[in-house]
Amino acid sequence: MNYLKMKGKIALVTGGAQGIGESVVRALIESGAVVAILDHNAAKLNSLVNELKLQGCNVEAFPVDISDSKAVTTVVDLIEDDIGPIDILVNVAGVLRIDLISSLSDQDWEKTFAVNSTGVFNVSRSVSKHMISRQKGSIVTVGSNATRVPRISMAAYAASKAAATMFTKCLGLELAQYNIRCNIVSPGSTDTEMQWSLWKDENGARAVIEGSPEAFKIGIPLKKIATPSDIADAALFLASERANHITMIDLCVDGGATLGV
């Protein structure tokens, strides 16, 4: 992906220790970027960063709970001081709590919004303040195609991702005057631990692809589940100078599962 011209750029990725976040980290490194990774799971984060450093990659680990605004501000300031000016932010961190609304607990609702919505706000606000002074930057938020259509047992997740999506668009409108672009990538079913947690058995992938009329899901027209790298490729394009005149867009990467809605 060298054509994306990211050599020497400094990128911050949240939720970068696994899944889509890890794929985004690896793609950024491959494109020449220096990457700071934020994740609440210190063990997974340090394991990944140690592996990447042994390969000669320029990457640093920052264990942090992005729902803690003070902690986020401290870490972002530290990255700016010790590593350099953040050129790219990719908001990937997210949690999934599934249940029917009638059974959804206060704690599940609050945790979902704390990470998926407030976390995006906390990190984006802290990073964008630095970007404004430099009159440049790119922010990408990983949303979800669940914001396009209702999903049974996914009200908290869909609503929190919808909030993060509209927040990112509003941020993009406010920051456009400073040459800062803000976009969203909305994945559908992707081959990650989060997706696996929804499967009842070893036929889970096939069930997702085929769809389920009783749950009002049509399946995936392309007949395959996305790989994390599919989502990372879209995120990197939007973060790169190749998308220099694109802002406030929500790019859905779901194999057609929401029929382009």
Predicted confidence (pLDDT) per residue in 65-109, tens digit = 999 999 999 999 999 999 999 999 999 999 999 999 999 999 999
The domains found in the chain, sorted by start residue, are 2-188+228-252 (3.40.50.720), 193-225 (no CATH)
Predicted confidence (pLDDT) per residue in 188-246, tens digit = 999 887 775 666 777 767 888 888 888 888 899 999 999 999 999 999 999 999 999 99
pLDDT at 208: 84
Predicted confidence (pLDDT) per residue in 119-156, tens digit = 999 999 999 999 999 999 999 999 999 999 999 999 99
- Candidates 62, 113, 121, 157; catalytic one: 157
Q: How far is CA 201 from CA 154, 189, 198, 218, in A?
A: 19, 16, 9, 20
Q: What is the mean pLDDT of the chain?
A: 94
Gap between the Cα atoms of 222 and 132, Å rounded:
40
* Two structure tokens written together for 12: 């911050």
3 is known as an active-site residue = no
Angle of helix 155-175 versus helix 106-113 axis, rounded to 10: 30
